[in-house]
Every structure is written in C-alpha cells, then in structure tokens.
Structure 1
Amino acid sequence: MYVLGAGILARGIAVRGPRGVVFANLDFRVEPGSLTVVAGPSGSGRTSLLLVLSGRLRTITGELDVDGLPLPRKARMVRKLIRPARIRPGCELEERHRVREAITERRLISGTNKASVELGLELVGLDVDRSLLIGELPPEERLLLAVGLAAAPAPAGIVVDDVEAGLTQSGRARVWAALHEVSRIGMTVIASSTDRPAGDVDVVRLPAGRSYDPTAEIPLPEKVGR
C-alpha cells in the first residue's frame, strides 16, 4: 500500500468556540506523508485544530489550504481526504460494540473492502479476537483499531486525538510506532498530545503565541530529535 499524502499550509488561522477564541495567529506547514504532532496543554485547542484540518470546523480568520483545497470553502472535499481515527468527544469507537461490528460499520461508512481493512490492521500491528467488545481491549489496542480502520480506505491523511491519554509508557510507544508506520506509506498523520513524543517528528505547538506577519516565511514545524 502506498498513499499520496496531503500537504497543509496555514497562515494566521484562528478559531472561536462557545467561550471565545480558542487559538489565533497560528502559522504552520505540514509536509505530505509526515507525522505531525499538535502539542499543548488541556484547553489549548488541540481538538479544535484537528477538526479544522479535517474540514469539520470553520476558521474565523486566516488562510488554510489542505492539498490545494482552500478551507472552509472546500470543506466537503477535505472531509473525504482527511479521515478522523479518533476525535474527542464525538468520534470514537463504541465500547459496547464487538470488534467485528466496528469493522463492519467502518467498512459500510467508508466503502472499504475486506482486504483493505486487513491491510490497515496489519499496518498498525494489530491482531485481536474480533469477538471481544471494544471496551475489553487494552486502551492502546482500542486506539490502534481506530487508526487501522481510518487508514484502511487509504485517505490522504488521518487525524488522531489525545494519543497518549490513558496509556502506559509501553502502550504509548506502541501507538507512536504504529503512527510512524502509517506515515511511512505516504499518508499524512496529524496527532494531538499533551506532550511531544520522543523521536523524529514534526511539532505544531499550541498556543502559537506570536503575531501574524503576512510577509514572513512560513516555517516548517519544529523537528524533535531523539
């Protein structure tokens, strides 16, 4: 499986929520096929940014381009390119469903065939008893199942919220390794986390904390080395 990932360019974007502006003056660039981590404390707007980048939340200012498609005008097309694996709250696997039921549901929604689902699960290194309830799986395997199913139809990119929430150190390492594998096939992966992970990843930090200069060069996300 090889995927042509989506590139993203943001200049001075801002989002407003029920309690006011969530973040503002945010500039960054995401390279196609990269693993980019949106890092920041609780309430900094990590989930909101993932919703924006997947065409599910409108910005109030700035310019945003996903794979050549301007948002919010082309949001419907972007939603087909960037699939959510998990966005909290509202987009998570139902814990009362069995694994096989979740697979069937995602296949129907995305139009994915059985072979593609198997490739997606193999990509993230997941092999579980499909008669189990989602809620019976360890937290990292619930997340890996969601990632594998989101990757199965080979979208240009996926977004994954709260990667490290509720995971042990070994569980975190396993999930980050799987996300690296997804990006290695060319798929753009954007994941949110309170802390930046170890390893070579791109990082978009929230809050941005700087003014928007329309003449400035757009920076690449910060590289975090080992």
Structure 2
Amino acid sequence: MGAEADERPHGAAVVADGFGLKGPRGWAFREVSFRAGPGALVAIEGPSGSGRTCLLLALTGRMKATEGGAEVGGLPLPRKMAAVRRIAALGQVPAVSELDPAFTVAEHLNERALLQRRFDGSVRALLRRPAERKASARARIDEAVAAAGLDLAALPKGERTAVRDLERLEALRLSIALALIGRPRLLAVDDTDLKLSDADRAEAWALLRSVAEAGTTVLAVCSEAPEDALRITTLDGPDHKTPERPEASEASRTEAETETDAATDTDAAGTGTADTDADRVTEDTTEEGAADALAETGRA
C-alpha cells in the first residue's frame, strides 16, 4: 500500500526563461517566459501555425530548443531532455502519439499497461507472480480510466469498441487515460479543443482541470484558453515565419525521437528511458529540418 502511494503523481513545476526554437525557415517560437507551479493547468494558446505544438514538445523533452532555457521538475532543458521524457507523458499529439484506429479501447489500455510494467517497473515488481502482475496492471488501468472520466460501459461495444468508432471527446479521454497509466508528473495534450462543441469543450477542460487538481501538472494546446488557466500565448512576430503546414511539420519533426522512445517508453507519450541518436538531430526543427532529421535516422 505504501509503495503504491509513493507512485502517486506529484506535479512538476515548469519554468521557461527566454525559451525559443529556430528552424531553417525562422522561429517556431521565441522569448517564452513563465512559471507554473506543481499541479498547474497551463494553456498554450494561439492560432494554428504559431508554434504551439513545438513549444509543447520542447517542454516535454521531444524537441531541442535553440534559445534560452527551461526547467521541468528541476530538470534543465535542453540538457536533460531524456530525463524530462521520463516524467512527462503525452496525450494526443498528431503524428507523434496518435491512437491506432483499428485497435480497440481494451487493446490500447492493455498494451500500455504491459509497456509500463516492462520498461518502467522495478525489479521487485517484475518478480511478482503472474496473477499479482495482472492484478497490478488492471488496477493501474482502472485508476487511469477513472481519472480520465472514460466510461467503458457507455461505449458502443464496451472495451471492445474500436478507436475509429469513438467520438472525439471519448478519444481524448482515452489518450489521457493511456498517458496517466504511467503516473507522470507532467501531462501534455495537443489540440485540446479542436472540433469540439461548446459542451464537449467545457467537459474537456473540466477533465484537465481535475487531473491538475489531483496533482499532475497539465500543458494543453488550444485555440482559446479558459480563464482559470495559466495562459501562454504564441503569436506570429516579425521574425516568425509560419510554416506552410505547421501542425504536421511540428509533429513530424519528432517522429524519429518518439518512435525510438516508444520502444523504451511506457508511452509513446513520453517516459523514455535513454538518450538516442534522435536526440542529437534536433537542431533544425521545422520543415526541411524535419525531413533531414528523419532521413538521418532512417525513418524518412
């Protein structure tokens, strides 16, 4: 019981000071400065193409900043990117941590719990009897599903419902549940309010607010932030050249890193356990830089 309590999430403070990222076509974002305490709800607000996703990924250790610095849970960025990935988990981020539409809800949850046990469990946990390991995994799943407000019984086919058959809000809840299985200190979610009705948007923010109140710091990209969130605005400046396909390019830049992480993560989202070559090809982070980096890692 005590060991389980020790694993409960405690939020990571996030501090940025003149944080910026520049690619071959200009600045993705720059001069970002803010302080967020543990368990804060931070909304990264701005129009599409203003560097919101790049900032989210840089603060979770998946893109390498080129200016200024930041700290997540006391870990400096960009120097400790791998360590930050161990405590930060991604919910939905297009082309980085997407749900497989052919998988069922149960398949996603069981796979994530298995990865969590395999790559993040203690030696003692790995030596438990199979029945104990199974019960522990089920407990983690149930805890994460409850925290994400995902009602499995209300789905069309229960846990056997395919992702393609989920409503957008349900898919958002599932992606958050998957991230929370790892009990991260920082949860990051992209496109929080995209294609949601006003009612669903209110539910989504209520969910993220509850996660933050439970102790996990939350970073959420959105087009319009709620008034009670710490609002970080990314806007096009005179030196910021908006990419032609910003959201796709921002996410695809990190595909090499996150796919490598997925082999060592509990979550494609984000608790990687080792530095890789992908960490060292992050100097250019937009457009052509993304393609070059992917080619260098053999994933273009």
Tell whether the structures are fold-level matches, with TM greater than 0.5: yes
Whether 2:108 is the aligned partner of 1:80: answer no
Partners of 2:23 and 2:47 in 1: how far apart? Answer: 17
2:160 aligns to what SS in structure 1? coil
Query: Is 1:168 the counterpart of 2:200 in the alignment?
Result: no
CA apart distance, 1:209: 5.9
Q: How does 1:1-226 map to 2 (within 5 A)?
A: 2-111=8-117, 113-128=137-152, 129-197=158-226, 199-207=227-235
Q: 1:191 to 1:135 in 2, by over 3 A?
A: same
Contact 2:112 2:178 survives alignment (8 Å): yes
Structure 2: which amino acid aligns with 1:125? Answer: G
Point out the structure with the larger strand share: 1
Residue 28 of structure 2 aligns with an amino acid whose one-letter code is V
In 1, the alpha carbon distance for the partners of 2:82 and 2:219 equals: 19
Cα pair 1:117 1:153 within 8 Å, conserved: no
Contact 2:16 / 2:70 at 8 angstroms: preserved in 1?
Answer: yes
Q: Give the 3-state SS of the residue equivalent to 2:114 in structure 1.
A: helix
Alpha-carbon offset, residue 153 of structure 1: 2.1
Q: Which range moves more in the overlay, 121-130 or 184-193? A: 121-130
**C-alpha distance in structure 1 between counterparts of 2:71 and 2:53, whole Å:** 18
User: How much is the aligned-residue C-alpha RMSD, in angstroms?
Assistant: 1.7
* Native 8 Å contact 1:25 1:208 kept in 2: no
TM-score relative to the length of structure 1: 0.87
Name the SS for the 1:86 alignment partner. coil
Contact 2:112 2:181 in 1 (8 A): no
Aligned length: 209
Query: One-letter code of the match for 1:99?
Result: V
User: What is the distance in 2 between the residues matched to 1:43 and 1:149?
Assistant: 27
Structure 1 Cα separation of the partners of residues 113 and 22 of structure 2: 34
Structure 1 stretches of 4+ with a deviation exceeding 4 A read none
Query: What is the alpha-carbon distance in structure 2 between the residues aligned to residue 18 and residue 119 of structure 1?
Result: 44
Taking the aligned partners of 1:187 and 1:76, their CA distance within structure 2 comes to 19
- Residue type matched to 2:105 in 1? V
**How far apart are the structure 2 equivalents of 1:29 and 1:207?**
19
User: Residue type matched to 1:47 in 2?
Assistant: T
Give distance in 1, aligned partners of 2:23 and 2:115. 29
Q: Secondary structure at the match of 1:130?
A: helix
- Cα distance, 1:208 vs structure 2: 8.2
Where structure 1 has 5 or more consecutive residues not aligned to the other structure, the ranges are 211-226
CA distance in 2, matches of 1:109, 1:57: 23
Question: Equivalents in 2 of 1:46, 1:69: separation in Å?
Answer: 21
Percentage of identical aligned residues = 35
Distance 2:96 2:40 in 1: 25
What is the deviation of 1:20? 2.2
Q: Give ranges in structure 2 of 5+ residues lacking alignment.
A: 122-136, 153-157, 239-300
TM (norm. structure 2) is: 0.66
SS of the counterpart of 2:203?
A: helix
Q: Which has the higher helix share?
A: 2
- 1:47-94 deviations in whole A, cap 9, x for unaligned? 101111110000001011111111111111100111001112221111
